[in-house]
Copies of this chain bind each other. A is one copy, B any other.
């Protein structure tokens, strides 16, 4: 393998799936050019909070990672690859004031209605199904949780996202 330093051939983006648990409504946005934002200069959660607010005016809190979406132009070839982290968000404000530059429409929509709607992408529909499953049967069924680790010697910080580990395994030494 080459010893040359790696270079970035990818973009990493973040999207927020904002569900109001008190009403079962989810925030849907119709973007002008794309569904998700591409900025990602910090932690996915922080980025999702900022992007959701800038696009829709809704304040929200990061709950977990829900899904990772990968997009390819040329499957199996050398095409550029984009990845999006889809975060589960809980809103703390509900009045929509959306960015006209980025969005054509923005509204609260019944989650069940979004699952059953035909006028959407398979990705959106699948994410909606995940949210509905979690909403009905517990978010522990859908969440990808996070643990934080300091790196003592290097001064780096790590976050590790994975399925929840039982306490007995977490504390195993």
B6 and A11 form a contact (CB under 8 A): yes
A71 interface residue, CB < 8 Å from B? yes
What residues of B have a CB within 8 angstroms of the CB of A122 in the complex? 149, 158
B11 and A162 form a contact (CB under 8 A): no
Given known A40-B81, A144-B144, contact A69–B160 (CB-CB < 8 A): yes
A129 interface residue, CB < 8 Å from B? yes
Choice from B71, B129, B158 contacting A158 with Cβ under 8 Å: B71
Binds B, one of A18-26, A90-98, A163-171: A163-171
Per the 8 Å Cβ criterion, residues 24-54 of A in contact with B are 37-44, 46, 51, 54
Residues of chain A touching chain B, judged by Cβ–Cβ distance below 8 Å, are 1, 3, 6-13, 37-44, 46, 51, 54-55, 65-73, 75-78, 81, 83, 99, 101-102, 115-116, 118, 121-123, 126-127, 129-130, 132-133, 141-144, 147, 149, 151, 155-163, 165-166, 169-170, 172-173
A-B contacts, 18 listed (Cβ < 8 Å): A7-B11, A10-B40, A12-B83, A40-B81, A43-B70, A67-B161, A68-B144, A69-B159, A69-B161, A71-B156, A72-B159, A73-B155, A118-B173, A126-B165, A127-B160, A144-B144, A144-B162, A163-B163
